[in-house]
C-alpha cells in the first residue's frame, strides 16, 4: 500500500484520538477532575448535531456553534450543581460523574430511544493513489489541528488563559490576588465540555447518534489523557501520536482486535515506566 | 389469586370503563383457569428496540387467541419481566416464571449469552422455551425451540446471489465472537461451493466505530461484494463511513443483520440505499396475509416497526398454541410431542414448519435491497431449513441432548 495513503491514515488515526480526548484532557489535566461523563458529552454533541440537521438547520452551524454551546452549557450546569462541591476529592468525583454518565445515557434513551440516527457526511470523496477516501476525514484532521492550536494560543497568549493557568497552579494565591477562582473553574469545565461537544458533533456524521456511542470513545480517551499526563495539550498530542500510530499499523498488518490490544499493551508499559504520564517525565515545561 | 377489596373494585371499574358487560363476566370467569405464559424481554437498556417489539407482538398474539376463545377453552395471560439488557436478571426471572408464576411456556431473550443463562433454568423447571432471535446456530435441546434466522438460513441465499450477480470475490466483515466467526466460516464454505472466493476477513470488537483502515483494506483487496455480520450500534457506523468514502455503489454491500430494528427507516437514504439484506420477514413484504397482519397490529395501537425479530416472536407463540391445540393438553411432554409431529403454521409471511430433529424452523428467505426507506425484493428461496447442526443434533433419536454444538462447517 502506498506511503501517501498510509501516512494519511496515520494522521487521521492520531487526529481522531486528539479530537475525542482534548476536552477530557483540559478537565483532567488542568482541574484534576476525572470526568466519567466525558463519553456522554460527546454523545450529547452528536445528538445535538443530528437533531438540529433533521430540524432543518445548516450542518456547519449545528456543528461549530450549536453543539459546543449546548454541551458547554450542560458542562457549566454540571460544574455548578455537582463538581464544584467535590474539588480535591478525586474518588468522589469519579463516583459522581459516573452517576451523571448513567443518568445522561438514561435520559437520552428515554428521549430518543435506542435506534441509531444519522446524517449524511458532507463534502464527498477524493482519490489518492488509487484509493478513495472522504473529504470529511480531511476535515476531522483540520478540526483537531485547529482545536489544539486554538487551545494552546488561548492558554499561552490571552489574559483569560493566564488567569486560568494561574488558578490551576495555585488557587489560594490567585484568590489572594483578587481572582474569582470559582468562576474560573466553572468556565474551564464548560470550555472542556464545549470542546467535547464539538468533537461529538464532528464525529456524528461518521458514527450516527445512539445513547451509548460515548462508550466507543471513552476508554481510548482516558488511556490517552492519563498516559499524556498533567500537561493537557502536549500530553494529549504526544500520547495520541504514539497510540494512533501503533494501533493503526497493527490494525493494518494484523486485525482490528490486535490493534486494540497493542494500544492497551503500550499504555501498560508507558504507565509502568512513567506513572505520572509522559509529560510528567518529558516536556515538563510545556502546556 | 390474592384478591382484596381495592383490587376487586379497581378491576370492576376498569372492566366497566373498558369493556361492555360481557367483558366483565369473561373477566370473572377468567381468573380461575387462565393459562399463564411467560415473557422475558429486555424492555430497557441497549437491547430495548428488540424487547419492546417482542413484548408488543406477544400481547397482540395473545389478544388474538383470547378473542377467538382462548386455548383449550381457557384464556391466556402473559406474565412479563423486564430483564433490562442484563444477563443476571434472566436467571432470576426464569426461576420466578417457573416457580412462582407457574408459567407453562416462556418466550424471549435477545443475546445468545442471555439465552444460555435462562435455557438451563427453564429446562430444569420443565418449562418449554422459545428463543426467537437471529443467532449463530448450534443449540440442541428438546426443551427449546428456535425460530430465528441462523447463518445457514441467510448465507445460503446471500452468497450464491452475490457471486451470480456481482462477482466471485467476497470480503467478510463481522463482530469478533462466535456469530461473526461462524458466519465467516460459512461464507468461505459457500463461496467455495459456488465457485467464488473470500479475499479478506475482518472481525471487530463490539465497540469498534472507526472503519477508515478497513475501508482502505477493502479497496486494496478489490472484492466484488462485501458480506457483513455486524452487531450493535458501533458497527452501524460502518454504513455512514462507507458512504462518505465514496465507495458505496462501487462494491455491493450485503448484511445478515441490517434492518433488525428498522435501521433503514432512521438512517438517511443516501447511506442505506442499495444495502442488500436477507431474512425471513420484513414489514414491507407485499402479501395479502402480511398486509392484513400489519393492519391489525396497527389497529391494536402498536407503532413499532415489525422486523424479523418481532415476527419470529409471534411465530413462536403461534407454533406453541398450535402444538397445545394439537396435543389437547398443556402437559410438557404432550406439547413437545406435538411440536415434533412435523408441525407447521400459516404465518403472515407464509408457511413456517418446525424441524423435529433440531427444533429450528423452515421458512422462505427473502433477499431484498434497501430503497428509499423500504425494501425491494430481489430474490426468494423457498422453504430454507437450518443446516447448522447436520450430523450433530438429532433430538428424535437422542432426545436427551442438551448442548450448543459448534457447527461443523
Q: Mean per-residue pLDDT for A166-180? A: 87
* Cβ–Cβ under 8 Å, residues B236 and B329: no
In this predicted structure, the answer to whether residue A52 has a pLDDT above a threshold of 60 is: yes
**Does residue A240 surpass a pLDDT of 90?**
yes
Per the CB < 8 A criterion, the answer to whether B150 and B135 are in contact is yes
- The residues, ordered by sequence, that sit 6+ positions from B167 with a Cβ below 8 Å of its Cβ are B196, B223, B224, B225
Q: With an 8 Å Cβ cutoff, is B246 touching chain A? A: yes
Reduced to 3 states (helix: H, G, I; strand: E, B; else coil), residue B276 is strand
**Is B384's pLDDT higher than 80?**
yes
Confidence of residue B218 (pLDDT cuts 50, 70, 90): very high
- Which residues of A sit within 8 Å Cβ distance of B? 1, 5, 9, 12-13, 16, 109, 113-121, 124-126, 130-134, 136-137, 205-208, 210-213, 215-217, 219, 248, 251-252, 255-257, 260
Residue B136: which of B173, B179, B172 has the closest Cα? B179
The answer, yes or no, to whether residue B2 has pLDDT greater than 50, is no
pLDDT digit string (tens) for A19-39?
Answer: 999 999 998 888 888 899 999
DSSP state of B62: H
Contacts of B48 in chain A (CB under 8 A): 109, 113-114
Residue B292 confidence (pLDDT): 95
For residue range B303-314, what is the model confidence (pLDDT) as tens digits? Answer: 999 999 999 999
Q: Are B136 and B106 in contact (CB under 8 A)?
A: no
CA B285 to chain centre: 17
Q: Are A241 and A145 contacting, i.e. CB atoms less than 8 angstroms apart?
A: no
Give pLDDT, residue A127. Answer: 86
Q: Give the position of cell 434466522.
A: B149
Average pLDDT, chain B: 88
- Report d(CA A31, CA A79) in Å as an integer: 11
Confidence of residue B390 (pLDDT cuts 50, 70, 90): confident
Averaged pLDDT score across all residues of chain A = 90
Question: With respect to CATH, is domain B151-255 assigned 3.40.50.2300?
Answer: yes
Instruction: Give residue B17's pLDDT band: very low, low, confident or very high (50, 70, 90).
Output: very low
* Gap between the Cα atoms of A78 and B289, Å rounded: 53
C-alpha cell at B353: 414448519
Helix (H) or strand (E) holding B9: helix B5-18
Name the residue of chain B whose CA is nearest to A254's CA: B202
Confidence of residue B276 (pLDDT cuts 50, 70, 90): very high
Contact B246 A125 (CB under 8 A): yes
- Which residue from A minimizes the CA distance to B219? A131
Are B5-149+286-363 and B151-255 the same fold in CATH? yes
- What is the average per-residue pLDDT within B368-380? 90
Distance CA A64, CA A71 (A): 12
Q: What is the pLDDT of residue B31?
A: 54
Q: What is the CB neighbour count within 10 angstroms for residue A225?
A: 28
Whether A206 sits inside 8 A of B240 (CB atoms) is yes
Question: What nine digits make up the cell of B242?
Answer: 462507507
Q: Judge whether B172 and B214 are in contact, CB under 8 Å.
A: no
Rounded average pLDDT over B180-209? 91
Across the range B199-208, mean pLDDT stands at 89
| 3-state SS, one letter per residue, for chain A | CCHHHHHHHHHHHHHHHHHHHHHHHHHHHHHCCCCCCHHHHHHHHHHHHHHHHHCCCCHHHHHHHHHHHHHHHHHHHHHHHCHHHHCCCHHHHHHHHHHHHHHHHHHHHHHHCCCCECCCCCCCEEEECCEEEEHHHHHHHHHHHHHHHHHHHHHHHCHHHHHHHHHHHCHHHHHHCCCCHHHHHHHHHHHHHHHHHHHHHHHHHHHCECCCCCHHHHHHHHHHHHHHCCCHHHHHHHHHHHHHHHHHHHHHHCCHHHHHHHHHHHHHHHHHHCCCCHHHHCCCCCC
Domain residue ranges in chain B = 5-149+286-363, 151-255
Q: Which residues contact B398 (CB under 8 A, 6 or more apart)?
A: none
- Burial code (b: 16+ CB inside 10 Å, e: under 16) for B304-343 equals bbbbbbbbbbbbbbbbbbbbbeebeeeebeebbebbbeeb
ipTM at complex level: 0.84
Burial class (CB in 10 A: 0-12, 13-18, 19+), B49: buried
The per-residue pLDDT for range B92-146, each reduced to its tens digit, is: 999 999 999 999 999 999 999 999 999 999 999 999 999 999 999 999 999 999 9
Q: What is the CA radius of gyration of chain B?
A: 22
Q: What is the DSSP letter of B148?
A: S
Residue B268 near chain A (CB below 8 Å) = yes
Task: Taking residues B11-25, report their average pLDDT.
Answer: 42
Task: Please say whether the beta carbons of B269 and B369 come within 8 A.
Answer: no
pLDDT of residue B8: 44
Rounded to 5 degrees, what angle do the CA atoms B395, B352, B405 make? 35
Cell numbers at residue B225, please? 461484494
Whether residue A206 contacts residue A143, with contact meaning beta carbons closer than 8 Å, is answered with no
Q: Do the beta carbons of residue A286 and residue A246 sit within 8 Å?
A: no
Q: Does B143 or B388 have the greater pLDDT score? A: B143
**What DSSP designation does B74 have?**
B
**Is A256–B205 a contact, with Cβ atoms under 8 angstroms apart?**
yes
Report pLDDT digits (tens) over A195-232.
999 999 999 998 889 898 888 889 899 999 989 988 88
Start-to-end CA distance of chain A, whole Å, equals 37
Nearest CA in chain A to B238: A207
**More confident call, A88 vs B25:** A88
Residue percentage of chain B with pLDDT more than 90 = 67
Residue A1: the pLDDT is 56
Residue A284, pLDDT above cutoff 80: no
Cβ-count burial of A129 within 10 angstroms (0-12 exposed, 13-18 middle, 19+ buried)? exposed
Residue B37 has pLDDT above 60, yes or no: yes
- pLDDT one-digit tens code per residue, B256-268: 999 888 888 888 8
Nearest to B129 by CA among B109, B105, B112, B113: B105
Q: Which fold has domain B5-149+286-363?
A: Rossmann fold (3.40.50)
What does the pLDDT read at residue B336? 94
Output the pLDDT for position A16: 92
Q: Which residues of B touch A213 (CB under 8 A)?
A: 209, 233-234
In chain A, the residue whose alpha carbon lies closest to the alpha carbon of B270 is A120
Question: What pTM does this model have?
Answer: 0.84
Q: How confident is the model at residue A253 (pLDDT cuts 50, 70, 90)?
A: confident
Kindly report the CA angle at B265 between B243 and A65, in degrees rounded to 5? 65
Phi first, then psi: give them for residue A285, nearest 5 degrees.
-95, 10
Interface A-B: count of C-beta contacts within 8 A? 131
Q: Give, for B371, the enclosing helix (H) or strand (E).
A: strand B361-371
Give percent of chain B above pLDDT 70: 92
Confirm if B223 and B171 have CB atoms less than 8 A apart: yes
Amino acid at each position: 500500500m502506498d506511503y501517501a495513503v498510509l501516512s494519511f491514515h496515520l494522521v487521521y488515526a492520531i487526529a481522531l484520538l486528539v479530537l475525542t480526548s482534548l476536552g477530557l484532557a483540559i478537565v483532567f489535566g488542568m482541574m484534576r477532575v476525572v470526568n466519567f461523563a466525558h463519553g456522554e458529552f460527546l454523545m450529547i454533541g452528536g445528538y445535538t448535531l443530528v437533531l438540529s440537521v433533521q430540524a432543518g438547520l445548516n450542518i456547519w452551524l449545528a456543528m461549530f456553534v450549536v453543539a459546543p454551546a449546548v454541551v458547554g452549557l450542560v458542562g457549566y450546569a454540571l460544574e455548578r450543581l455537582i463538581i464544584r462541591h467535590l474539588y480535591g476529592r478525586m474518588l468522589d468525583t469519579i463516583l459522581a460523574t459516573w452517576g451523571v454518565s448513567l443518568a445522561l445515557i438514561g435520559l437520552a434513551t428515554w428521549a430518543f430511544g435506542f435506534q441509531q440516527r444519522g446524517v449524511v457526511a458532507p463534502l464527498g470523496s477524493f482519490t489518492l493513489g488509487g484509493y478513495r477516501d472522504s473529504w470529511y476525514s480531511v476535515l476531522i484532521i483540520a478540526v483537531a489541528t485547529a482545536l489544539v492550536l486554538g487551545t494552546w494560543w488561548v492558554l499561552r497568549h490571552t489574559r483569560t488563559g493566564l488567569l486560568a493557568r494561574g488558578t490551576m497552579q495555585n488557587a489560594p494565591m490567585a484568590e489572594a490576588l483578587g481572582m474569582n477562582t470559582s468562576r474560573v473553574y466553572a468556565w474551564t469545565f464548560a470550555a472542556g465540555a464545549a470542546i467535547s461537544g464539538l468533537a461529538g458533533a464532528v464525529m456524528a456524521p461518521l458514527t450516527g447518534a445512539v445513547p451509548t456511542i460515548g462508550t466507543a470513545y471513552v476508554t481510548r480517551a482516558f488511556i490517552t489523557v492519563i498516559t499524556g499526563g498533567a500537561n493537557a495539550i502536549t500530553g494529549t498530542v504526544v500520547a495520541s501520536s504514539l497510540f494512533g500510530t501503533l494501533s493503526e499499523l497493527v490494525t493494518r498488518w494484523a486485525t482490528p482486535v490486535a490493534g486494540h490490544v497493542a494500544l492497551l499493551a503500550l499504555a501498560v508499559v508507558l504507565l509502568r515506566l512513567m506513572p505520572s504520564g509522559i509529560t510528567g517525565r518529558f516536556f515538563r515545561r510545556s502546556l | 389469586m390474592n384478591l382484596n377489596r381495592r383490587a376487586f373494585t379497581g378491576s370492576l371499574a376498569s372492566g366497566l370503563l373498558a369493556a361492555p358487560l360481557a367483558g366483565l363476566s369473561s373477566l370473572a370467569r377468567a381468573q380461575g383457569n387462565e393459562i399463564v405464559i411467560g415473557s422475558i424481554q429486555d424492555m430497557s437498556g441497549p437491547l430495548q428496540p428488540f424487547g419492546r417489539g417482542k413484548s408488543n407482538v406477544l400481547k397482540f398474539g395473545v389478544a388474538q387467541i383470547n378473542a377467538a376463545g382462548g386455548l383449550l377453552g381457557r384464556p391466556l395471560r402473559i406474565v412479563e419481566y423486564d430483564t433490562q439488557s442484563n444477563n443476571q436478571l434472566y436467571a432470576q426471572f426464569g426461576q420466578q416464571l417457573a416457580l412462582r408464576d407457574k408459567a407453562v411456556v416462556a418466550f424471549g431473550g435477545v443475546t445468545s449469552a442471555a439465552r444460555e443463562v435462562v435455557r438451563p433454568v427453564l429446562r430444569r423447571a420443565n418449562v418449554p422455551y422459545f428463543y426467537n432471535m437471529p443467532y449463530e446456530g448450534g443449540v440442541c435441546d428438546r426443551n427449546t425451540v428456535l425460530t430465528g434466522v441462523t447463518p445457514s438460513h441467510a448465507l445460503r441465499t446471500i452468497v450464491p446471489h452475490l457471486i451470480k450477480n456481482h462477482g466471485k470475490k467476497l470480503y467478510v466483515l463481522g463482530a469478533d465472537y462466535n456469530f461473526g466467526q461462524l458466519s465467516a466460516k460459512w461464507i468461505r464454505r459457500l463461496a467455495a461451493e459456488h465457485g467464488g472466493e473470500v479475499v479478506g476477513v475482518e472481525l471487530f470488537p463490539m465497540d469498534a466505530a472507526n472503519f477508515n483502515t478497513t475501508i482502505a483494506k477493502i479497496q486494496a483487496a478489490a472484492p466484488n461484494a462485501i458480506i457483513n455480520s455486524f452487531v450493535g450500534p458501533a458497527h452501524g457506523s460502518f454504513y455512514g463511513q462507507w458512504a462518505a468514502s465514496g465507495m458505496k455503489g462501487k462494491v455491493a454491500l450485503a448484511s445478515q443483520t441490517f434492518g433488525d430494528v428498522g435501521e433503514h427507516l432512521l438512517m438517511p437514504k443516501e447511506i442505506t440505499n442499495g444495502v442488500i439484506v436477507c431474512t425471513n420477514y420484513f414489514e414491507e413484504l407485499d402479501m395479502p396475509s402480511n398486509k392484513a397482519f400489519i393492519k391489525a397490529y396497527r389497529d391494536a395501537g402498536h407503532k413499532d416497526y415489525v422486523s424479523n425479530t418481532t415476527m419470529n416472536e409471534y411465530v413462536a407463540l403461534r407454533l406453541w398454541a398450535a402444538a397445545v391445540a394439537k396435543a389437547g393438553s398443556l402437559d410438557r411432554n404432550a406439547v413437545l410431542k406435538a411440536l415434533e409431529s412435523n408441525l407447521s403454521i400459516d404465518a403472515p409471511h407464509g408457511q413456517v414448519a418446525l424441524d423435529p430433529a433440531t427444533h429450528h424452523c423452515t421458512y422462505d428467505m427473502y433477499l431484498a435491497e434497501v430503497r428509499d426507506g423500504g425494501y425491494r425484493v430481489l430474490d426468494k428461496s423457498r422453504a430454507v431449513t437450518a443446516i447448522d447442526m447436520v450430523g450433530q443434533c438429532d433430538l428424535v433419536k437422542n432426545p436427551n441432548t442438551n448442548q450448543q454444538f459448534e457447527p461443523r462447517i
